[in-house]
Amino acid sequence: MKEYFTIGETARLNNISIQTLRYYDRIGIFKPYYTDQENGYRYYHVKQFFYLDIIKYLKYIRTPLEEIKRFGSYTCTPEDIQHFLEEQESVIVQEMEKLERARQLLHRRRNQLNEQLDICRKKDEGFVYFRYIDEQTILKVETPQVNPHDQSDLYYRKLADVIEKIGDVVDNYYGFIYDFKPYKDSRDIYCNSIYTTVCNGKNIDIGEKNIRLDTIPSGEYVCIAFDWSAKNYDEYYQKLYQYIESHGIQTDGNVYQVSLPIDFNSLREENFLTELRVLKK
């Protein structure tokens, strides 16, 4: 029975590339049984294939190469292996949780883009409209001195810092909450808070003053949409307010302003789509 195999034969028999075997040799993870001093050919013993299977298994369960090298540098007892596998299982669980958060973010972003396309169509009509909105989990910061016309980037950055610290991804979906009442001018509006949506706030440890989790309730909202500008804001807010008052619609007393980028290559104000929402009671 043949006992020694060239690097090419070893690669073919073990479904691994020659380049990978050379790399493993170079970093000391899996070395050939011997190397011919005359021609430099690497030869592997058939008994080594078992260890190559172990390496492939460890890679499959996301073990870093440096850890694999350390793992193979000493004699392991069954207890050592059990402890190692428990640690690696914990790593995999964390990766799975990250992937699930990524899937949720992707799903949420797709829904937001669909929603944005719908808002764009409503905006082009220029009328007040109604639509049902699901409950949203939000992270919000108190902003008693902020006007919708003010630069609110620093407040939004505070929210982004909290989200990034917990390993989540910052959304480009943000909004303002302020009181629903008659305003002579939109510059008389002062927001209670600025918010952004989050996937799952159950395990978030905020640790920041004036920032907290909340929910925006589900229900039917009275809405109007427009391209952002100071002139448009005054005009469209008045149109929304007059509609609600003239139709005797009861509300929860809040306006939820949402701003979404239209052009993702620009941050100019005129390239934001704004929707004003008021919840019917």
Report how far residue 225's alpha carbon sits from residue 129's, in angstroms, rounded to the nearest whole number: 9
pLDDT in the model for residue 80: 78
Domain that holds residue 14: 4-74
Q: In this structure, is residue 28 part of a structural domain?
A: yes
Q: Residue 195 maps to which CATH number?
A: 3.20.80.10
| pLDDT of 58 strictly over 80 | yes
80 inside domain? no
In a domain? residue 82 = no
Q: What span, in angstroms and rounded, lies between the C-alpha atoms of 277 and 224? A: 7
Residues 134 and 191 in one domain: yes
- The CATH number of residue 52's host domain is 1.10.1660.10
Q: Are residues 133 and 270 in the same domain?
A: yes
Is there a single domain that holds both residue 65 and residue 100? no
How many distinct structural domains can be found in the chain? 2
Going by C-alpha positions, the residue among 79, 254, 238, 109 that lies closest to residue 175 is: 254
Same domain, 167 and 197: yes
Q: Is 65 in the same domain as 118?
A: no
pLDDT for 134-181, tens place per residue?
999 899 998 878 888 887 777 888 888 888 777 677 777 789 999 999
Taking a C-beta distance cutoff of 8 angstroms, is the pair 105, 199 a contact?
yes
Query: What span, in angstroms and rounded, lies between the C-alpha atoms of 268 and 142?
Result: 25
Q: Could you tell me if 60 and 108 lie in one domain?
A: no
- Can you spell out the DSSP letters for 11-69? HHHTT--HHHHHHHHHHTSS--SEE-TTT--EEEEGGGHHHHHHHHHHHHTT--HHHHH
Is the Cβ–Cβ distance between 141 and 193 less than 8 Å?
Answer: yes
State the alpha helices, DSSP H only, in 126-150. Answer: none
One-letter identity of residue 130: F
Does 100 lie in the same domain as 67?
no
Shared domain for 252 and 187, answered yes or no, is yes
End residue of a domain, out of 41, 74, 107: 74
HSE of 274, CA atoms in CB hemisphere, 13 A: 23
Q: Is residue 179 part of a domain?
A: yes
Q: Is residue 86 included in any domain, yes or no?
A: no
DSSP conformation class of 168? -
Express each pLDDT in 208-223 by its tens digit.
Answer: 678 888 999 999 999 9
| Cα–Cα distance measured from residue 179 to residue 56, given in angstroms and rounded to the nearest whole number | 61
Q: In this predicted structure, what is the pLDDT of residue 189?
A: 94
The reply to whether 102 falls in a domain is yes
Residue 81 domain-assigned (yes or no): no
Same domain, 138 and 10: no
| Residues 126, 21 share a domain | no
Q: Which range has highest mean pLDDT (55-69, 90-104, 243-257, 258-272)?
A: 243-257
Q: Is residue 20 included in any domain, yes or no?
A: yes
